[in-house]
Structure 1
Amino acid sequence: MADKLSNNYVNETKSHLKRSNLVLLVCDYDGALLQPSPDGGEGHMAETVHDHLEKISAIDAVRLAIITGRSPLNMREQVQIPNCHYLCNHGLEISGPELNFRHSVAEKMREHVHEAANTLRVQLRIDRAVVEDRGLTAVLNYRNVMESHVSSLMAKTKNLLANAVRERKIRIEEGRRTLEIMPAVDWDRGKAVKMLHHTLRAEYPGSQVGLLYVGAGGMDETAFKYV
């Protein structure tokens, strides 16, 4: 990352923003906005971070978006920021002032995700491994699993879900001490950011709409490629 943030990179970014009439700022919720818990549990957003986001969302020339693997319901409970776009379930669901979207094919495959989550919940039986069904996606969280059990957990999980993956009912993505269970559709964070970016460009024809993406996880790579 240090190599990427060279003086040329910073200068090019500044130049890009100066040419823009409107800037779309997309932040990964768990990776960029939350303070990690020292015991490996649920992170939290510092009050100062929330205050800064509210100030950013009030700037006329900025559109703020938060992207996350969490469900829309969870995000509404966790953080409420005026005029913010929420790209939930890794962008399969998008809500905000200019766009309300739910991936229709992923919606039809919801039952496959539910079955996978239920299979893990019933059969995995590894202490401190938590399975959460988020609707269009699910997640296996193993942040608190003993390190000596992680390799066994990964192998057992992939074995339990192998048929569903092979039949293209689901796909599995690795997160930060999580396994993300996704519907097997041609969609990712990059495509979600592209949709929102193009929506804003159509909403403001003739304007230069810049884009900044802040994230640190493997699932953010598709968004960085689009940016």
Structure 2
Amino acid sequence: MEHLFFQLNKLKDVLKNKFIFLFLDYDGTLTPIVQNPDKAVISRKTKEVIRSLSKIPHCRMAIISGRALKDIKNKIGLEGIIYAGNHGLEIEGPKIRFKAHVSIRYRATLRKIKSILKKKLSKIKGVIIEDKGLTLSVHYRLVDIKDVQPVKTIFHEAVAHYIISNKIKIRPGKKVLEIRPPLEWDKGKIVLWLLARLKFVLGKEPCLPIYIGDDMTDEDAFRALETMGLTVFVGGSKSSHARYYLKNTQEVTEFLGQILKIKTGERICRN
């Protein structure tokens, strides 16, 4: 992967002349990863850049997060952009509303697993069990290192039967284990679905999708846009399907600011 800023001048014309559809993760992308997910707050500078970009005629934006829809909407707090919560299982935005259908059986299974995990993990300090309605997450970032493996063991023992019977799917993230519905639906499919909907608005106008993310769940989107978009991994030059990388959330904000300057005709000047 190349550092994105090394190629910024070459990308200037493309960024200026094409309709841009920005897809952004939240935790680890727009705001640094923190010990407690509730404490992850977007900076005023980043929020203002996003607000300004959302008002540009030739730019559309979607925040695609593992957080519940209500949570991510409250975290950003801006109108005029698309919010995809629970990794796209629920989506809301201008002229768009979607919620994946999950069975009553799945919801009952999720409640049962939650009850089991709460009981078995109750004595391990630092575990956070987050019920997001359509999904369930077990955060262990605050757990003592000696207790991390026991948390994972308890989790996998609790869900094993339901995975084998295809009642749920699980996916690991950064210091989190997540339970999802058994649906073929990921960030890559969400991005392509949203782009297909956008074509009805744009017609033949060229569109450049830009996806920026830092987690394993973002790799599906990187693969989906491999030949048609600009993909950016956040966190340094690591193994990823993204073409470019940015070192941290500060560089993400800086890049978004550069897009804003390009689109509004301001001179580009890196700090």
Identity %: 29
Q: Find the counterpart in structure 2 of residue 79 from structure 1.
A: 76
- Aligned 8 A contact 1:106 1:136 in 2: no
Corresponding residue of 1:92? 89
Partner of 2:139: 141
- Residue 4 of structure 1 deviates from its aligned partner by 4.0
Q: Which residue of 2 aligns with 1:153?
A: 151
Gaps of 5+ in 2: 226-271
Q: 1:205-225: per-residue Cα shift (whole Å, max 9, x none)?
A: 121121000101111000111
Per-residue deviation, 1:28: 0.2
Code of the aligned partner of 1:196: L
Pick one of 216, 219, 224 that aligns with 1:218.
216
Number of the residue aligned with 1:118:
115
Q: CA 1:106 to 1:188, structure 2 compared with 1: closer, same or farther past 3 Å?
A: farther
SS for the counterpart of 1:59 is coil
Note if 1:43 corresponds to 2:13.
Answer: no
Provide Cα deviations, 1:68-107, integer angstroms capped at 9, x if missing partner. Answer: 1111221232221121100100011111113211112468
SS for the counterpart of 1:44 is coil
Contiguous gaps of at least 5 residues in structure 1: none
Segment drifting more, 70-79 vs 207-216:
70-79
Is 1:102 matched up with 2:106?
A: no
How many angstroms apart in 2 are the aligned matches of 1:108 and 1:190? 26
Tell me by how many angstroms 1:202 deviates: 1.6
* Residue of structure 2 equivalent to 1:183: 181
What is the total number of aligned residue pairs between the two structures? 222
Whether the 8 Å contact between 1:35 and 1:43 is mirrored in structure 2 is yes
Q: After superposition, what is the alpha-carbon deviation per residue over 1:156-213, rounded to whole angstroms, capped at 9, x for unaligned? A: 1101111111111111111111111111111111111111111111222121121000
Contact 2:25–2:63 (CA under 8 A) maintained in structure 1 = yes
Instruction: Please state whether the residue corresponding to 1:54 is helix, strand or coil.
Output: helix
Distance 1:23 1:107, change over 3 A: farther
Take 1:10 and 1:110, find their aligned partners in 2: how far apart are those partners? Answer: 46
What's the secondary structure of 1:56's corresponding residue? helix
**2:24 maps to what in 1?**
27
The answer on whether the counterparts of 1:99 and 1:199 sit within 8 Å (CA) in structure 2 is: no
Q: TM-score, normalised by structure 1?
A: 0.89
SS in 2 for 1:206: coil
Matches of 1:185 and 1:137, distance apart in 2: 12
Which residue matches 1:166?
164
* Superposition TM-score, scaled by structure 2 size: 0.75
Cα distance in 2 between the residues matched to 1:106 and 1:9: 47
* Letter aligned with residue 183 of structure 1: P
Q: CA RMSD in A?
A: 2.1
Looking at structure 1, the residues matched to 164 and 75 of structure 2 have their Cα atoms a distance apart, in angstroms, of 35
Q: Which amino acid aligns with 1:88?
A: G
The residue that corresponds to 2:66 in the other structure is 69
